[in-house]
Chains A and B, each alone.
Chain A
């Protein structure tokens, strides 16, 4: 950028008062920050030998699989407010049901951000951990996602996911100065980590430690990625996460999670490839249990239609001290997304899932997802 000396000018507030602005906001009479609300909702119908084999844990409640069912997805209220030129707030409040039929309310994200420049920003609160790509590119609004749901490896903790996709703590990020056309970004995070108190039960109640940090230990995560100018849409990155898990009655577990990814996303093409390795080692033991997790997803837009294919793989060693019962999940999904309007998508997706100890499961999931 070429620059020259700055001259006096009117403030943004003065100008804003004279011109109408866009957006959907609410402001209290007398001033104060404006609150902006958007909503997202998805509604599903599953059909097959297992109505939706990708809903975890399988066969919950215990018994024969459900062959067809309507499933109410996530009712997601996304709230933002700009408090000053450098301070903003963002939150996602999600209402959702599950196999228990009860409605749950979760504050999935709530973060206050201070951003004085493109080179540094810091946020405090509850956020999505910067492990891999998908977890911070797609949050709870299903409408944004091409497929009917997240890859199994990025399932939320209270839905049976094994990665710490949420953190409560502090996250910082920014552009690395002088990296020019490489556009190198850095991320550093510290948080309470994940509780281990409920591990081994069929449904993990709430592993994200919103209020207490077990044994005062803190998890940390370092990540980086590039977005080279010469291939718009390409992003290559990786991350390293460490936590000490403290399950009851057994030795503490030192956990490292390493990720690498290459994604290429344009308005037409979407090609995502991620690999994560979760390494669990009990304190005092020399054995490390490695869990590979990965997926690849390819889609192309043809007008209102976007066919896609995804293949995913999660393989937890049976004697892993934390997640052994999860086992193996591998299989393809093939689907079609149809955007009949800018804000409503209809998706139909076939899923096949192979597991270690049971017969393969097949199902077709249809979904309408929209934003309002």
Chain B
């Protein structure tokens, strides 16, 4: 529900607010759908999502880093990894670069180019402009892996654990900073 409200506010339209109020009033009476595992947990934490068909449930921090650095290009089921990145300037991307890559935006550009140049990266990461687009893309593509804040997760995708922890759980490496 909070997600609906926030999306409406992004649009900034009165129509959106009215629609959100209508949904809120309906949900007083209707039972809510069961959330996807990980959905809604750690609303502001960065959640890593994969296609529901992906057999992976948990990755170590190092394995996740290798996947995003294109040092691992296949899932255990043989599907090729399709990286999904959000556009520059998105707060989720800044968190990813800082906490997973330990890179600036410029470092990241250079890293991608060098990975292409050495042949380790055989296709560019998919670049999408909205968290909703990331969720939709990942829900369609069997080998895709992307990241959104926990509040953006829907039950069309699967949230993977990092070092055995879900977003929002104590010790999860991508929880929002206390400051």
Given A3-B56, A118-B74, A139-B117: A22 and B142 within 8 A (CB)? no
Contact B116 A80 (CB under 8 A): yes
Contact B118 A38 (CB under 8 A): no
Q: Taking the nearest CB of chain B, how far is it from the CB of A346, in angstroms?
A: 15
The reply on A101 being an interface residue by CB < 8 A is no
Interchain CA distance A2-B85 in the complex, whole Å: 24
Q: Taking the nearest CB of chain B, how far is it from the CB of A87, in angstroms?
A: 9
Given A6-B55, A85-B80, A229-B62: A141 and B122 within 8 A (CB)? no
Contact B141 A12 (CB under 8 A): yes
* A6, A139, A183 — most chain B CB neighbours (10 Å): A6
Q: Taking the nearest CB of chain B, how far is it from the CB of A94, in angstroms?
A: 13
Interchain CA distance A2-B77 in the complex, whole Å: 11
Q: Which residues of A contact B35 (CB under 8 A)?
A: none
The reply on B8 being an interface residue by CB < 8 A is no
Partner of B113 from the list A1, A115, A181, A371 (CB cut-off 8 Å) is A371
Q: Taking the nearest CB of chain B, how far is it from the CB of A139, in angstroms?
A: 6
Contact B109 A343 (CB under 8 A): yes
Given A266-B102, A342-B105, A342-B106: A12 and B143 within 8 A (CB)? yes
Closest to B142 in A: A9
Given A4-B57, A22-B126, A113-B119: A9 and B52 within 8 A (CB)? yes
Given A9-B51, A19-B133: A14 and B117 within 8 A (CB)? no
The reply on A90 being an interface residue by CB < 8 A is yes
Q: Which residues of A contact B143 (CB under 8 A)?
A: 12
Contact A342 B110 (CB under 8 A): yes
Contact digits for A110-141, partner B, Cβ 8 Å, 1 yes 0 no: 01010111100001000000000000110101
Q: Taking the nearest CB of chain B, how far is it from the CB of A175, in angstroms?
A: 8
User: 8 Å CB contacts to B: which residues of A1-49?
Assistant: 1-12, 14-16, 18-23, 36, 38
Partner of A115 from the list B107, B118, B122 (CB cut-off 8 Å) is B122
Q: Which residues of B contact A206 (CB under 8 A)?
A: none
The reply on A78 being an interface residue by CB < 8 A is yes
Q: Which residues of A contact B105 (CB under 8 A)?
A: 342
Interchain CA distance A78-B114 in the complex, whole Å: 12
Contact B119 A111 (CB under 8 A): yes
Closest to A128 in B: B118
Contact B82 A12 (CB under 8 A): yes
The reply on B127 being an interface residue by CB < 8 A is yes
For this complex, into which size category does the number of interface residues on chain B fall?
A: 35 or more
Partner of B137 from the list A15, A115, A371 (CB cut-off 8 Å) is A15
Pair count A-B, CB < 8 A: 122
Contact A21 B126 (CB under 8 A): yes
Partner of A7 from the list B53, B72, B80, B125 (CB cut-off 8 Å) is B53
Contact A16 B125 (CB under 8 A): no
Contact A118 B72 (CB under 8 A): yes
* B57, B118, B136, B143 — most chain A CB neighbours (10 Å): B118
The reply on B103 being an interface residue by CB < 8 A is yes
User: 8 Å CB contacts to A: which residues of B48-77?
Assistant: 51-59, 62-63, 65, 71-77
Given A1-B58, A113-B119, A144-B117: A20 and B128 within 8 A (CB)? yes
User: 8 Å CB contacts to A: which residues of B139-171?
Assistant: 140-144
Contact A6 B58 (CB under 8 A): no
Q: Taking the nearest CB of chain A, how far is it from the CB of B177, in angstroms?
A: 20
Q: Taking the nearest CB of chain A, how far is it from the CB of B127, in angstroms?
A: 3
The reply on A339 being an interface residue by CB < 8 A is yes
Given A14-B140, A22-B125, A117-B74: A181 and B52 within 8 A (CB)? no
Closest to A8 in B: B53
Given A19-B137, A266-B102: A6 and B77 within 8 A (CB)? yes
Q: Which residues of B contact A288 (CB under 8 A)?
A: none
Contact B126 A117 (CB under 8 A): no
Q: Which residues of B contact A1 (CB under 8 A)?
A: 56, 58-59, 63, 75-76
Closest to A267 in B: B107
User: 8 Å CB contacts to B: which residues of A184-211?
Assistant: none
Q: Which residues of A contact B (CB under 8 A)?
A: 1-12, 14-16, 18-23, 36, 38, 78, 80, 82, 85-86, 88, 90, 111, 113, 115-118, 123, 136-137, 139, 141, 144, 181, 183, 227, 229, 232, 266-267, 339, 342-343, 371
A-B contact pairs, 9 of them (CB 8 A): A1-B59, A3-B76, A6-B55, A9-B141, A18-B136, A23-B124, A90-B119, A144-B113, A144-B114
Closest 3 pairs between A and B when the two form their complex, measured CB to CB = A22-B127, A15-B140, A3-B55
